[in-house]
Amino acid sequence: MPNITTMSKAMRKKTANIPQDVLVRLGFDTAEYKFISDSHTFEKLVEINDLLTTEQKYAIMEQQGCHKSGKMDKESKDFGAEHSDKSLAEKLELLSANADAPCMNHDGTISYAVRCFVHDSEKILDSCHCLRGNYKEEFLAFAKEHPDKIPSFMQFFCGCCAGHQKHHLQNRLGVKLRLKSVDISSEETDRGRKQVFTYEIAE
């Protein structure tokens, strides 16, 4: 689940290239910043999303991720170790048997569809593990009051997944990745359209 305090730390790093005036507007300009108001989580994420450039957003999103340890981490590292002698194409082929498997694009980037993106707040809850937890009631109230802001909120909220999927893909594939784009798939499912994270191989 996205952690706004962690985001503020990532945004203060020089490599994020976030202008000081933007940090000041967000209140992130001090190392003592700590986000403590769950009731304003959604408004804050929309504010961050709307103030940053696309490149800045991706630089922050790819550093997030709340499932970088535990069982999933062990499984991804075990897969990487077991298949370390195989080519990237062979590793992706082995992963292709899983649902929502990563795939290689014609330009050499790697895409991963992680969840559905819909404008209907009830369907978003049906497809989003994070929002079904402690944030459910707060999200429904936010969606009812600001239905036009749902797409802006969901992009940055789901950026947490961009971070942990990058982490596990790197372990499985044995390559360094950089988040290149976040798109909405053209394919319709019964729960909406999937959000697709595309990574490029970093030099």
Q: What is the 3-state secondary structure (H, E, C) of the chain?
A: CCCHHHHHHHHHCHHHCCCHHHHHHHCCCCCCCCCCCHHHHHHHHHHHHHHCCHHHHHHHHCCCCCCCCHHHHHHHHHHHHHCCCCCHHHHHHHHCCCCCCCEECCCCCEEEEEEEECCCHHHHHHHCCCCCCCCHHHHHHHHHHCHHHHHHHHHHHCHHHHHHHHHHHHHHHCCCEEEEEEEEEEEEECCEEEEEEEEEECC
Angle at 163 between CA 150 and CA 184, to 5 degrees: 40
Angstrom distance (rounded) from CA 61 to CA 27: 19
pTM: 0.86
pLDDT at 99: 62
pLDDT over threshold 90, residue 23? yes
Closest CA to 175 of 149, 147, 200, 139: 200
Half-sphere exposure of residue 111: CA atoms within 13 angstroms, side-chain side = 15
Residues 6+ apart with CB under 8 A from 132: 125
* Weakest-pLDDT range from 17-26, 95-104, 106-115: 95-104
Structural domain boundaries in the chain: 4-201
pLDDT over threshold 80, residue 148? yes
pLDDT in tens, 85-106: 999 999 999 998 776 689 999 9
pLDDT in tens, 43-78: 888 899 889 999 999 989 888 888 788 898 999 999
Please state whether 45 falls in left (phi above 0), alpha (psi between -120 and 50) or beta.
alpha
pLDDT over threshold 70, residue 38? no
pLDDT at 39: 61
Angle at 48 between CA 42 and CA 54, to 5 degrees: 125
